[in-house]
Amino acid sequence: MTKNTKTVIILLVIAVLIAVIPVAALRGAEFGGSDDAGSVMVEEIHGEYEPWFTPVLETAIGGELPGELESLLFCVQTGIGVGVIAFFMGRFVERKKWMKKMGEEDAPD
């Protein structure tokens, strides 16, 4: 195992732990968004506040976006991103392998 591989694994484990520990530690917490907390804070400072513009999509479908659809759209966003990264990363990995092979055949360093 190379040094980089080890570093990557350790880093990913740490990242997962940071994300998972709060869920395990704070049983029953709501895990709402901090945006909502932000708008609560606006009301606290400003008094009652009525947003003066509703999101385009909510106007178009006449109501709030259902939770399931919202998670679908978030998944689509993630999917697009992961797809692009994985595609190019896969190409790079294969290219390096191929280049190495060529190098060994032609001029062994």
Partner 1 sequence: MPKKKKILLRAYIVFAAMFAVAPASNAMHIMEGYLPAGYCVAWGVICLPFLIAGFISLRNKVKENRRNLILIAMSGAFIFVISSLKIPSVTGSCSHMTGTGLGAILFGPASVSVLGIIVLVFQAVLLAHGGLTTLGANTFSMAIAGPLVSFGIYKLCCHTKVNRKAAIFLAAFLGDIFTYCVTSIQLALAYPSEAGGVAASAVKFLGVFAPTQLPLAVIEGILTVVIMIGLETYAKPELKSIGFLRDTPGKQPPCLHERIFAGQRTANDSCRELSEVSRDRIGEAKHPYPIDRKEA
| Interface of this chain with partner 1, residues 40 to 59, rule: CB under 8 A | 41-42, 44-46, 49, 51-58
Q: Based on the number of CB atoms within 10 Å of its own CB, is 95 exposed (0-12), middle (13-18) or buried (19 or more)? A: exposed
Q: Minimum CB separation from partner 1 for residue 80, in Å?
A: 6
In degrees to the nearest 10, what's the CA dihedral of 55, 60, 66, 72?
Answer: -90
Site mask, partner 1, residues 75-104, x = CB under 8 A? x-xxxxxxxxxx-xxx-xx-xxx-xx-xx-
Choose which of 15, 48, 62, 66 interacts with partner 1 (CB under 8 A). 15
Is residue 66 involved in binding partner 1 (CB under 8 A)? no
Q: Minimum CB separation from partner 1 for residue 69, in Å?
A: 9
What is the number of alpha carbons within 13 Å of residue 97 lying toward its C-beta? Answer: 6
Is residue 62 involved in binding partner 1 (CB under 8 A)? no
E strand or H helix at 62: none
